[in-house]
């Protein structure tokens, strides 16, 4: 026993222990550095590196869909689900061929951009960032635990310049908005994928429309009118969404219709933050409510609107 104590107290043993501790700490810092929640100028995202939201609920990075060889997308998915489930895709209609030589970065004008292998622009937030040429390094893109990707000055994160929640794809997450701009008539709805495995904007869109002095949910197919859904948005008639849920899940949702001088929009919250939940515009044109995780089905439970 005395021999063991003598070895433990020796300078050589203490040096070995110190080296092991330092190497372990360095490895931990490298892992954390690989998965941050922020893209900044001089720190682009490429290859298999990804952003992870602070609580670990969502991730953002390059991904491929099944059967999409040579087509890579920047998207957001649930980080903790065993099957990758995209909830937002940036470059839906312009995939890149190689994530290792493509990069998501902050451009000199402060926009978040995706550049392909040749340096050509594949996607951009395309917004007036109010960042001068000498200030672009202060603009960062941050992935939040809500699944929202936000572009903002690093010194004032609340001054949102652009956010993915204002640009819904086929998936509507809690806190995101379906909106209509009163002055320009611009509208943001849910647009289906072209086909399963192909996130290119598809034929079906659910959006708000001002008709007869009311705001309605309208379904379009290839930009042509396909019929109004039940009720008006400003009447809080949200059967199109609650009809896509079973009774237990429907009671947990809280929908809001908001109208101001600039825009009208619909948003919602969910009472249980411990599970995953979303609405999806399916490739068939049906609105589906999806929540929870079903290991046997290797997917979330989705029910559709009648």
Domain containing 294 — which CATH number? Answer: 2.90.10
Q: What is the mean pLDDT of the chain?
A: 80
159 and 49 in a single domain? The answer is yes
Q: According to DSSP H, which parts of the chain are helical? A: 2-8, 11-34, 239-242, 247-250
Q: Which of 60-64, 123-127, 161-165, 268-272 has the lowest mean pLDDT?
A: 268-272
Q: Confidence class of residue 225 from pLDDT cuts 50, 70 and 90?
A: low
Report yes or no on 190 lying in a domain: yes
CA–CA dist 108, 131 (Å, integer): 9
The answer on pLDDT for 298 being more than 90 is no
Report yes or no on 185 lying in a domain: yes
51 and 177 in a single domain? The answer is no
176 and 305 in a single domain? The answer is yes
Sign of CA dihedral 190, 191, 196, 199: negative
Q: Which of 43-47, 72-76, 136-140, 207-211 has the lowest mean pLDDT?
A: 136-140
180 and 138 in a single domain? The answer is no
Q: Let me know: does 235 contact 219? Beta carbons within 8 Å.
A: no
| pTM score | 0.81
Edge-to-edge strands of the sheet including 198-211? Answer: 190-195, 198-211, 214-221, 224-232
193 and 304 in a single domain? The answer is yes
Report yes or no on 12 lying in a domain: no
pLDDT in tens, 13-22: 444 444 433 4
Domain of residue 85: give its range. 36-167
Q: Let me know: does 178 contact 172? Beta carbons within 8 Å.
A: yes
CA–CA dist 53, 175 (Å, integer): 16
Higher-pLDDT residue of 38 and 29 is 38
128 and 186 in a single domain? The answer is no
The answer on pLDDT for 227 being more than 70 is no
Pairing of β 253-259 and β 263-270: antiparallel
126 and 176 in a single domain? The answer is no
Pairing of β 277-281 and β 287-294: antiparallel
The residue ranges of DSSP E strands in 212-276, in sequence order, are: 214-221, 224-232, 253-259, 263-270
Sign of CA dihedral 287, 293, 296, 298: positive
64 and 162 in a single domain? The answer is yes
Q: Which of 119-128, 171-180, 193-202, 212-221 has the lowest mean pLDDT?
A: 212-221
């Amino acid at each position: 026993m005395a021999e063991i104590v003598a070895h433990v107290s020796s300078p050589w043993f203490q040096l070995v222990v110190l080296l092991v501790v330092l190497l372990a700490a360095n490895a931990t810092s490298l892992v954390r550095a690989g998965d941050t929640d922020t893209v900044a100028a001089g720190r682009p995202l490429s290859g298999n590196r990804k952003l992870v939201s602070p609580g670990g609920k969502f991730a953002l990075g390059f991904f491929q869909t099944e059967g999409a060889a040579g087509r890579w997308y920047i998207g957001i998915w649930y980080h903790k689900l065993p099957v990758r489930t995209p909830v937002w895709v940036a470059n839906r209609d312009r995939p890149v061929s190689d994530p290792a030589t493509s990069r998501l970065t902050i451009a000199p004008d402060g926009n978040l951009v995706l550049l392909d292998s040749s340096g050509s622009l594949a996607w951009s937030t395309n917004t007036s960032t109010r960042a001068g040429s000498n200030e672009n390094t202060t603009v960062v893109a941050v992935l939040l635990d809500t699944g929202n990707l936000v572009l903002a000055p690093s010194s004032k994160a609340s001054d949102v310049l652009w956010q993915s929640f204002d640009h819904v794809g086929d998936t509507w997450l809690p806190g995101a908005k379906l909106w209509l701009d009163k002055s320009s008539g611009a509208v943001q709805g849910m647009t289906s994928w072209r086909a399963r495995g192909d996130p290119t904007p598809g034929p079906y869109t659910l959006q708000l429309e001002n008709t007869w002095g009311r705001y309605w949910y309208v379904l379009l197919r290839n930009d042509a009118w396909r019929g109004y859904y039940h009720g008006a948005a400003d009447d809080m008639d949200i059967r199109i969404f609650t009809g896509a849920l079973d009774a237990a899940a429907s009671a947990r949702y809280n929908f809001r219709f908001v109208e101001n001088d600039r825009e009208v929009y619909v948003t919602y919250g969910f009472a249980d933050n411990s599970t995953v939940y979303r609405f999806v515009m399916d490739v068939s044109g049906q609105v589906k409510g999806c929540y929870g995780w079903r290991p046997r089905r290797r997917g979330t439970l989705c029910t559709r609107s009648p």
